[in-house]
Structure 1
Amino acid sequence: MTAFNPITISCFKAYDVRGELDVNLDNAIAYRIGRAFAQYLNDGKENPVIVVGSDIRPSSESLKQSAIDGITDAGIDVIDLGMVGTEEVYFATSHYNAIGGIEVTASHNPINYNGLKMVRENSRPISGDTGLADIRAIAERGEFVVADKGRVTLNTDKTAYIDKLMSFTDTTKFTPKKIVVNSGNGSAGPVVDELQKRLGDNIELIKVHHTPDGSFPNGIPNPMIIANQKATSDAVIAHGADFGVAFDGDFDRCFLFDEKGRFIEGSYIVGMLAEVFLKKHQGESIVYDPRVIYNTENVIAQNGGTPAISKSGHSFIKQVMRETRAIYGGEMSAHHYFRDFAYCDSGMIVWLLVIELLSVTGKTLSELVNGHINDFPSSGELNFRLGQKTASEISELLEQKYHSSNPAKNTLDGLSLDFGNWRFNLRSSNTEPLIRLNIETKGDKALLKTKTDEILAVLDECGAVSADH
């Protein structure tokens, strides 16, 4: 046993590690986490291996090497994937029969942040109650098993991963399409280049902010920020594209724009993809989160599917998907999960499916979603920093305000109140110090505005400040 000084590590979150560089995350902490991760997962399997990758941030390579040092000092071999997106680690963990995988990334967080996303065998998520707390405890205690040092193999070959992505679609059905792809100067660019070789001459890609650049010269790649949507939207309009795609930094989320350059809220994409899968596989389960549900539940019912609601967050969605053997799961935050991708989320599979869908139906993206948007209008996710009231205190105030209407109440994830013709969900973020509000109605845009204004007035009285600008 090798003993390090005990320390407190504060960068562990609900289902990953995320911290501010040289404040609560540095190379020494990454080493401890890597070694604790390997020690926790090592179950005596013969020739165990862990796959590790990192995004394009300047700090990611050194943090990755520190984590690798920790893993190999624990006696576990490492496959270093190089610069990759999170879903490439998910894929490689299962593909190489690894006992675990780590992606060093801070996704869409500010440049002075970084983190580690971890999975165990078969790409199963690790969250606070499924191992993350144990890994933290080992890392903090610094009591590490002594072992012969593991070996490191560099493997940057993406062939098997690209093959897997392409297995979700049929390129023989593709009709000519022009697509704007905004990689946000993140990790997506090299994968887009490899996919382009497989898509055929019918598919023209207009690449925006394509070159990986950890200084993020065009801003942190977070397409949820309205200002960041302009580059993709403008390019779609300028090039007369059929649709646009934008990725976050580690491209586990995929955001879509229609042929008019309009940003499409994630919940409508969940409904659209649910319909795609149910038309091919009727009766299958579809998993979705409780933030915005009307359209998704309607699509599932109309297409003979089985609804399965889950708390928001990838570890919860993946668990419910495994329990129900769901073929597809989606969150309005633009995470999309696939049974045949080890129940993991992929930003790349989404736009490949959209190419085929537009080709087969002969419809534009706006034609595919407009009816759903009109039938079930929603506010989009509104984010707030808390003031003098806590999230639970605000929820209590809203319950009191609407008590006389006798709404159906659900507390699976925050507070959901459903009044029959409209509903809202208010929840605390698992990844940021924010509360998030979503409101939706059944075909009534005027009611949507009225109820949005009502709830915003309550939040304002509580000192909550918008975080969306």
Structure 2
Amino acid sequence: MSTSATTSYQPATEFNPIIIDSFKAYDIRGVLGVNLNEDIAYRIGRAFAQILSQRYHASVKAHDNDMATLKPAIVIGSDIRHSSEQLKQATIAGIIDAGIDVIDLGMSGTEEVYFATSHYQALGGIEVTASHNPINYNGLKLVKEHSKPISADDGLAEIQALAESGQFTTKNRSGTLQLLIDKSAYIDHVMTFIDTDKLKPLKLVINSGNGSAGPVVDLLIEKLAQAGAPIEIIKLHHTPDGSFPNGIPNPMIEANRVATQHAVLENKADLGIAFDGDFDRCFMFDEHGEFIDGSYVVGMLAQAFLNKYPNESIVYDPRVIYNTEAVIKEHDGKAVISKSGHSFIKQVMRDSGAVYGGEMSAHHYFRDFFYCDSGMIPWLLTIELLSITSKTLSELVSGYIKAYPSSGELNFRLTTHDAPIIISAIEDKFSSENPTKSMLDGLSLNFGEWRFNLRASNTEPLIRLNIESRGDKELLAIKTQEVQQWLAAQGAVPA
């Protein structure tokens, strides 16, 4: 469906310099009314559009054929939070005042913006979302042409500086606004990742968390039914509701997993699936209701892709690596490690041409999805894998878990020292054991039979610890306790 529309936001006539402290390493995230509001959203939208427009015209003038195919438009969508529509309208007003056309996707998930940015050959895209953050937060996720990420050192700082200064150029024309809420091209593309003829009878519990996932899940269910796939779906917390009556959709919090686990057991389902608010992450539960750590899902999907595409590259992050590297080696793939974070993973994937990339945080990236992350593709691939192998999910991952047990990610708030001091001190503590060291992302020390990664969060005031061993749960427990006690002595409090 396509209609013309107008924005309801009316901007200020003068723009005094301000400080906008909602800019983070990869996106914009802030507390409503404190460091994010409609006026700030307008400034960000206008700055984003102005900078992308300037780059576009400079590239066309320089006969950059890659940029010449683009349209001077920006795609925008928003999640279900009550504040998202108002922030989106303000952002749209800023883009239009910068002379750039806008394609509004309506209520959508982040991956729909990724898809539409490339599908419509737009200059860039914006999703208004705070993902899994508390209800008093919101934010904006930005991408540039071809759905490429924008980070602090690759344009985000420039956008922040212009938004803060308010020194916008005046355009002879205003942009236009078009509402395009038809999801069919996106749904069709997502479905190309699996062969529906291979699907066997399966019962799934899907928990949309009252976020933005519900409408997309419905469309995918419809496609599966049209293909005659024998898939039964039990919907949980399915209706989008910005008040989040069943809690903020964040399956990383153990208490938020209980509803999905109970539904899997009560319905004797083969698989449980849960999403965060903007569904760019996918979380899995096996047939026993057990939550599957994201690092083992990375190994499983790596295997699935290498079975389809031998000798391809797989990208992974350095927090938990033993299982992923073993799977890639066993299936004759090429292991490519990357710093954590979507902008790093996506760039390394583009550089290496990797078919798949995964992070233990439940972000999964796909070459054939413009090197972007998707929360819908992983569960489709998983039901295909369950069907092809005739195995349960627990059977698929139990070998991984036994061979390479891990602590899961442990988070700490620092009360005495900052992260660099802690990381330097723990390196000194273990230096006498001569571990193999990597500083690719925080500090990784590998002792042969066990290893750990300690890094500062890019999005929260936390330090994150992951420990793993080679098949030795007792050693894992001992070392986890040892490192935790040491961190406690340095003033690190479990978060």
Alignment TM class, shorter chain as reference = over 0.9
Distance in structure 2 (CA, Å) of the matches to 1:306 and 1:275: 12
Aligned residue for 2:349?
Answer: 321
Q: 2:137 aligns with which of 107, 113, 119?
A: 113
- Partner in structure 1 of residue 480 of structure 2: 452
Unpaired runs of at least 5, structure 2: 1-12, 58-67
Instruction: Tell me, in whole angstroms, the C-alpha distance in 2 between the residues paired with 1:402 and 1:287.
Output: 28
Residue equivalent to 1:103: 127
Aligned runs of 1:169-188 on 2, under 5 Å? Answer: 169-188=194-213
Q: Please, what TM-score do these two structures have when normalized by structure 2?
A: 0.93
Contact 1:245 1:254 in 2 (8 A): yes
Q: Describe the superposition over 1:86-131 as per-residue Cα deviations: whole angstroms up to 9, x where unpaired.
A: 0000000000000000000000001110000000010000001110
TM-superposed CA distance for 1:397, in Å, is: 2.4
Q: Which moved more, 1:102-111 or 1:394-403?
A: 394-403
Q: Deviation of residue 3 (structure 1)?
A: 6.2
The secondary structure found in structure 1 opposite 2:292 is: coil
CA RMSD, aligned part only? 1.0
User: Which of the numbers 82, 94, 118 marks the counterpart of 1:94?
Assistant: 118
2:199 pairs with 1:143: no
**Secondary structure of the corresponding residue to residue 165 of structure 1:** helix
Paired residue type of 1:213: D
Q: TM-score when scaled to structure 1?
A: 0.98
Q: Aligned equivalents of 2:114 and 2:413: distance in 1?
A: 32
Task: Please name the residue that 1:370 is paired with.
Answer: 398
Deviation of residue 158 (structure 1)?
0.4
Assess if the C-alpha contact under 8 Å between 1:3 and 1:144 holds in 2. no
TM alignment of 1:133-282, pairs within 5 A: 133-147=157-171, 148-200=173-225, 202-282=230-310
Whether the 8 Å CA contact 1:174–1:355 is kept in 2: the answer is yes
Amino acid at match of 1:94: S
Rounded to whole Å, the distance in 1 between the matches of 2:421 and 2:164 is 34
- In the alignment, the residues of structure 1 paired with residue 301 and residue 178 of structure 2 have an alpha-carbon distance, to the nearest angstrom, of 37
Shift of 1:47: 5.0
Question: Hey, what does 2:491 align to over in structure 1?
Answer: 463
Equivalent pair of 1:3/1:143 in contact (CA under 8 Å):
no
Q: Amino acid of the residue matched to residue 29 of structure 1?
A: I
Task: Report if the CA contact (8 A) 2:453-2:466 is conserved.
Answer: yes
The farther-off stretch of 21-30 and 380-389 is 380-389
For the Cα contact (< 8 Å) 2:438–2:444, is it kept in 1?
yes
Q: Corresponding residue for 1:5?
A: 16
- Please state whether the residue corresponding to 2:287 is helix, strand or coil: coil
Provide, for residues 243-295 of structure 1, a one-character-per-residue CA deviation record: whole Å limited to 9, x for no partner: 10000000000000000000000000000000111111111110000000000
Q: Which of 60, 80, 92 is the matching residue for 1:68?
A: 92
Inter-partner Cα distance in structure 2 for 1:350 and 1:173: 16
Partner SS, residue 122 of structure 2 = coil
Distance across 2 between alignment mates of 1:47 and 1:238: 50
Query: Does 2:458 match 1:430?
Result: yes
Q: Provide the rounded CA distance (Å) in 1 between the counterparts of 2:422 and 2:98.
A: 47
SS for the counterpart of 2:320 is: coil
Give the aligned partner of residue 330 of structure 1: 358
Question: 49, 53, 59: which is aligned to 2:77?
Answer: 53
Equivalent residue for 1:443?
Answer: 471
Distance 1:97 1:400 in 2: 51
Query: What is the deviation of 1:231?
Result: 0.6
The answer to which of 2-11 and 81-90 deviates more is: 2-11
SS in 2 for 1:163: helix
- State the alpha-carbon separation in 1 of the partners of residues 448 and 282 from structure 2: 31
- Return the alpha-carbon distance in structure 2 between the equivalents of residues 370 and 100 of structure 1: 41
Identity %: 68
Give the partner amino acid of 1:423: R
- State the secondary structure of the residue aligned to 1:143: coil
CA distance in 2, matches of 1:297, 1:373: 14
Give 3-state SS (helix, strand or coil) of 1:99's partner.
strand
Does the 8 Å CA contact 1:31/1:66 hold for their aligned counterparts? yes
Instruction: Judge conservation of contact 2:71–2:123 (CA < 8 Å) in 1.
Output: no
Q: Secondary structure at the match of 1:87?
A: helix
Contact 1:52 1:80 (8 Å CA) reproduced: yes
Secondary structure at 1:215 match in 2 = coil
Q: Residue 402 of structure 1: CA displacement?
A: 1.2
Of 380, 388, 392, which residue of structure 2 is paired with 1:360?
A: 388
